[in-house]
Amino acid sequence: MDAVRVCVVGAAGYAGAEVCRYVAGHPAMELVMATARAEAGAALASVYAALIGSTDVVLVEPDAEAIAEASDLAFLAVPHTAALALAPALLSRGVSVVDLSADYRLADPAAYRSWYGTEHTSPELLSEAVYGLPELHRGELAALAARRAAGKAVLVAAPGCYPTAAALACAPFLETGLPISSPVIVDAISGVSGAGRSASARTHFCHADESVEAYGVATHRHTPEIAQSLSWAAGHEVGVVFTPHLGPYKRGILATCYLQTAEPLTVEEAHAILARRYGDEPLVDVLAIGEQPATAAVEGSAKALLGVAVDARTSTLIVTCAIDNLGKGAAAQAVQCANAILGLPEETGLLRSLPPVV
């Protein structure tokens, strides 16, 4: 088939540039357009030297009409609220959208208003959008693929980085109906790329280097998204305490999740639940009992690594998940979703790829 023509909106940011990396190396996609307001006019490879020789796309200002003319599929790597108008504008012009922003992740517009402090202006799309965590929403993505094959533009809401790690870790247990004393505690740490490409006091090397700190404690916007995923998996509402930390490294999230189990569970049983759930997944690996995932093992990769332990003294299940926040936590997962709605094997272009851009 002809290569799918792809536009990446917000290509100068880290997540957007990583989408470009995967698209430029993808056997079935062509990077035909990349937009970035501030850097319009510059070659993408002049912003990200790792892409020299791999793409000669020149950044342009985003424009729905121009995007629709050039592309079949658009990735929106934009801050929240920016996709509220852009996604409908593209969909109505026949362009399918994988949105990496937070705008279509929360099913409930009231939750969006409450956590993002602004009214959702295209709530009618919330029921259409599919939450793009393929390992947990494969059927819904297949339905989108069918609609797209029938000529309809479709919308995927790619998950946040922390919610991806937390959901991959916890969902298999909640799906089994294992009784859990709420709340689930998700303690996670991210590399600095998670704070974005804007230069700020927090992203200054001399602030972040050799240091760890918690942030957004009890207030981080990924909390309701994690709770939504865990509640979907459990079939009932699950409370979540989420504490993100900033760590002195570029890429990678480690989520350490604590579930108090009301019934005894051995580590062998816990491991079997994970292994069964993800045994056939090309992008999720479960480590042996006694091993723990290191974020470095997924740096620059599209994969998630999982580990599990049980603290029998306190009936606590401890599940850890390492992903690259820009990979399985953002760009790679967005491309995985795109593959799904294009009817391609999900891992297409994700295992062998151009080198990371940052």
Catalytic residues: 161
Question: To the nearest whole angstrom, how small is the minimum distance from the Cβ of residue 186 to a copy of itself?
Answer: 10
Instruction: Quote the tokens at residue 292.
Output: 């723990």
H or E segment at 310?
A: strand 304-311
Site string for a copy of itself, 103-142 (x = CB under 8 A): ----------------------------------------
Instruction: Quote the tokens at residue 150.
Output: 């029938």
Give yes or no for residue 160 binding a copy of itself (CB under 8 A). no
Residue selected from 109, 183, 261, 272 as contacting a copy of itself according to rule CB under 8 A: 183
Q: Burial of 290 by CB count in 10 Å (0-12 exposed, 13-18 middle, 19+ buried)? A: exposed
Give yes or no for residue 221 binding a copy of itself (CB under 8 A). no
Backbone angles phi, psi at 14, to 5 degrees: -65, -45
Q: Burial of 223 by CB count in 10 Å (0-12 exposed, 13-18 middle, 19+ buried)? A: buried
Question: To the nearest whole angstrom, how small is the minimum distance from the Cβ of residue 339 to a copy of itself?
Answer: 16
Number of residues that bind a copy of itself (CB under 8 A): 83
Tell me 331's DSSP state: I
Amino acid identity of residue 50, one-letter, is A
Residue selected from 250, 271, 277, 328 as contacting a copy of itself according to rule CB under 8 A: 250
Task: Report the residue number, 99 or 135, with the smaller CB distance to a copy of itself.
Answer: 135
Beta-bridge mates of residue 35: 9, 60
Site string for a copy of itself, 68-107 (x = CB under 8 A): ----------------------------------------
Task: Report the residue number, 151 or 205, with the smaller CB distance to a copy of itself.
Answer: 205
Question: To the nearest whole angstrom, how small is the minimum distance from the Cβ of residue 326 to a copy of itself?
Answer: 10
Residue list 5-64, contact with a copy of itself (CB under 8 A): 14, 25, 48-50, 52-54
Residue list 289-328, contact with a copy of itself (CB under 8 A): 292-301, 303, 305, 307, 309-314, 316, 318, 320, 322
Give yes or no for residue 197 binding a copy of itself (CB under 8 A). yes
Name the residue among 41, 42, 169, 96 with its Cα closest to residue 337: 96
Question: To the nearest whole angstrom, how small is the minimum distance from the Cβ of residue 216 to a copy of itself?
Answer: 9
Instruction: Quote the tokens at residue 256.
Output: 């350490």
Question: To the nearest whole angstrom, how small is the minimum distance from the Cβ of residue 102 to a copy of itself?
Answer: 19
Report the Cα–Cα distance between both ends of the chain, in Å, rounded.
32
DSSP character string of 218-271: TT-THHHHHHHHHHHHHTS---EEEEEEE-SSSS-EEEEEEEEESS---HHHHH
Cα 238 to Cα 216: distance, rounded to the nearest angstrom: 20
Task: Report the residue number, 10 or 252, with the smaller CB distance to a copy of itself.
Answer: 252
Give yes or no for residue 206 binding a copy of itself (CB under 8 A). yes
Distances (CA, A) of 270 to 97, 150, 182: 37, 41, 18
Task: Report the residue number, 143 or 358, with the smaller CB distance to a copy of itself.
Answer: 358
Task: Report the residue number, 134 or 300, with the smaller CB distance to a copy of itself.
Answer: 300
